[in-house]
């Protein structure tokens, strides 16, 4: 009997351009900590400190040919330290963070769209996360504004009289992206962080213009810390969260509002932009357990669960609303975790009468994929307290990836629900596969 496979081959990214990132040497994708990756539904972005490659996996299509972006970064702007996709329906852009605190956004054609200094420290991570708090009425108008913005930007890129170069003043950009800063260094330095969602205001506090969010951080001093972040409603977050984590002594979270670049031409001076003041971040709790250190943090789609890996080979499943660890795995050093959705114990998954049945969100069960590179396996566990559903062998030099969150009206229909999937990239062969969502 043929051995059953739990992955489906998706495509191959192998190309000559990868040699600039170190491809050709065994383990190049995972052994070099400076190799960054970001996956979209149609493209994979890989980068080192100075160059970005946008790769497709269907080279029969001319539009899937590799695109190379080599930002003209000055010493003031620093090197590339983080990348992430921004996807709004059919509009795609790549956000880049630098070692000196700059946010830079590029089109798929490698054109510079936006450049802005956020905070004069290293941007360690860019995290895009959607909200679920009844924002559908404003989403439509927001998308129209984004579409108009992209159309105007593209028309200017085509017109050589208006085309921007990276050496031009920032005043020619599409205004500044509104954002909020929080200092979350109360319990020590931070290596990763995420805003998990909206939370209730403090007891006995009068109604005001403030909105409150919960943030979870991990670091060397405190394995887990939690904060209540306050934000003025006039700068409300509607479209996306991008979290920026600072190294060493200064830990900061940045959250951008609306992700709309408005044509605000009020500032015409070329003076250096100063960081805005910090908003209030109130500490809630922390877990200190020397010598254990937090290493990586992954949020579930709803933000109610977080998987946290530590330096002792443990994985903690945190309820971000109760701020309680509800599950613990041991023996997973250097592990990577991603949440995914699978059809578990569903008659529709195997019924022949369901050939034309479109699965909805209620048909799927939330699971956690744990990549243990030292064991050479990926395990899939049912949330929150369910069993291990699957063990998948994977080659050395592989990495698990997940497409970034997509925004848009086309995703609001229940019949068009796209489940959360996990992809497996073999760096040595270039093979990209997807973990099957069916249990069979």
**How much is the pLDDT for 127?**
86
**Farthest-apart Cα atoms in the chain, separation:** 72
CA distances, 382 to each of 342, 351, 388 (Å):
9, 22, 6
**How much is the pLDDT for 144?**
54
Q: What angle do CA 220, 184, 338 make, to 5 degrees?
A: 60
**How much is the pLDDT for 134?**
35
Residue 408 falls in which region: left (phi positive, over 0), alpha (psi -120 to 50) or beta: left
Contact 140, 83 (CB under 8 A): no
Residue 38: which of 404, 340, 352, 357 has the closest Cα?
Answer: 404
The partner residues of 179 in beta bridges, in order of sequence, read 256
Determine the Cα–Cα distance for residues 355 and 234; give it in Å rounded to an integer. 49
Determine the Cα–Cα distance for residues 328 and 433; give it in Å rounded to an integer. 28
Q: Which two tokens stand for residue 282?
A: 């109130």
Cβ neighbours, 10 Å, residue 354? 14
Contact 135, 261 (CB under 8 A): no
* Number of residues that make up the chain: 440
- State the pTM of this model: 0.82
Q: What is the pLDDT along the chain (440 residues), one digit of tens a residue?
A: 345 678 899 889 999 999 999 998 999 999 999 999 999 988 999 999 999 999 988 656 656 688 999 998 999 999 999 999 988 777 888 999 999 999 998 888 888 888 889 888 999 999 887 654 433 334 433 445 455 556 666 566 555 434 444 444 444 445 567 788 898 988 888 899 999 988 887 776 656 667 889 999 999 999 999 999 987 654 433 333 333 333 333 345 555 433 333 333 333 334 456 667 888 899 999 999 888 999 999 999 889 999 999 999 999 999 999 999 999 999 999 999 999 999 876 554 444 345 556 777 788 899 999 999 999 999 999 999 999 999 999 999 999 999 988 776 555 555 567 889 999 999 999 999 999 888 76
**How much is the pLDDT for 417?**
76
Q: What angle do CA 144, 148, 151 make, to 5 degrees?
A: 140
- Long-range (24+ apart) CB contacts under 8 A made by 21-28 are 21/46, 21/47, 21/48, 21/51, 21/53, 22/48, 23/427, 23/430, 26/396, 26/397, 26/428, 27/396, 27/397, 27/427, 27/428, 28/397, 28/427, 28/428
Helix, strand, coil % in the chain, rounded to nearest 5 = 15, 35, 50
Burial of 71 (0-12, 13-18, 19+ CB in 10 A): buried
Q: Which two tokens stand for residue 264?
A: 């605000």
Q: What angle do CA 211, 213, 218 make, to 5 degrees?
A: 155
**How much is the pLDDT for 416?**
66
Q: Which two tokens stand for residue 4?
A: 């059953």
Burial of 279 (0-12, 13-18, 19+ CB in 10 A): middle
Determine the Cα–Cα distance for residues 215 and 196; give it in Å rounded to an integer. 6
Burial of 128 (0-12, 13-18, 19+ CB in 10 A): buried
101, 102, 106, 112 alpha-carbon torsion, rounded to 10°: -160
Cis peptide before 287 (omega within 30 of 0): no
């Amino acid at each position: 009997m043929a051995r059953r496979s739990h992955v489906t081959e998706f495509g191959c990214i192998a190309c000559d351009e990868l040699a600039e990132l170190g491809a050709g040497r065994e383990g190049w994708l995972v052994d070099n900590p400076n190799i960054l990756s970001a996956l979209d539904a149609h493209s994979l972005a890989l980068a080192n400190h100075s160059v970005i490659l946008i790769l497709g996996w269907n080279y029969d299509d001319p539009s899937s040919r590799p695109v190379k972006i080599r930002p003209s970064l000055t010493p003031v702007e620093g090197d590339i330290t983080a990348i992430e996709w921004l996807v709004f329906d059919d509009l795609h852009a790549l956000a880049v963070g630098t070692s000196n605190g700059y946010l830079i956004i590029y089109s798929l054609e490698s054109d510079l769209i936006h450049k802005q200094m956020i905070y004069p420290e290293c941007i360690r991570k860019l995290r895009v996360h959607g909200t679920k708090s009844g924002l559908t009425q404003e989403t439509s108008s927001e998308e129209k504004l984004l579409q108009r913005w992209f159309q105007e930007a593209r028309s200017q890129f085509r017109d050589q009289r208006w085309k921007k170069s990276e050496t031009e003043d920032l005043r020619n950009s599409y205004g500044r992206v509104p954002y909020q800063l929080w200092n979350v260094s109360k319990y020590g330095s931070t290596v990763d962080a995420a805003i998990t969602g909206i939370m209730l205001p403090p007891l006995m506090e009068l109604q005001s213009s403030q909105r409150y969010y919960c943030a979870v951080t991990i670091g060397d001093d405190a394995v887990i810390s939690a904060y209540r972040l306050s934000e003025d409603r006039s700068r409300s977050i509607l479209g996306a969260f991008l979290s920026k984590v600072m190294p060493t002594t200064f830990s900061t979270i940045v959250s951008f509002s609306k992700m709309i670049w408005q044509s605000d031409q009020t500032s015409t001076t070329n003076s250096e932009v100063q960081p805005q003041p910090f908003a209030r971040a109130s500490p809630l709790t922390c877990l200190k357990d020397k010598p254990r250190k937090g290493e990586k943090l992954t949020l579930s789609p709803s933000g109610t669960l977080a998987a946290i890996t530590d330096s002792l080979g443990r994985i903690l499943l945190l309820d971000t609303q109760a701020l309680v660890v509800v599950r613990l795995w041991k023996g997973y050093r250097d592990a990577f975790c991603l949440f995914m959705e699978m059809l578990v114990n569903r008659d529709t998954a195997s019924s022949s009468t369901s050939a034309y049945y479109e699965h909805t969100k209620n048909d799927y069960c939330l699971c956690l994929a744990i990549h243990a590179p030292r064991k050479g396996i990926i395990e899939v566990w049912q949330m929150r307290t369910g069993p291990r559903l699957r063990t998948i062998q994977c080659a050395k030099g592989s990495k698990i990836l997940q497409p970034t969150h997509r925004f848009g009206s086309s995703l609001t229909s229940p019949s068009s629900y796209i489940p959360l999937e996990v992809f497996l990239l073999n760096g040595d062969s270039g093979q990209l596969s997807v973990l099957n969502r069916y249990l069979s």
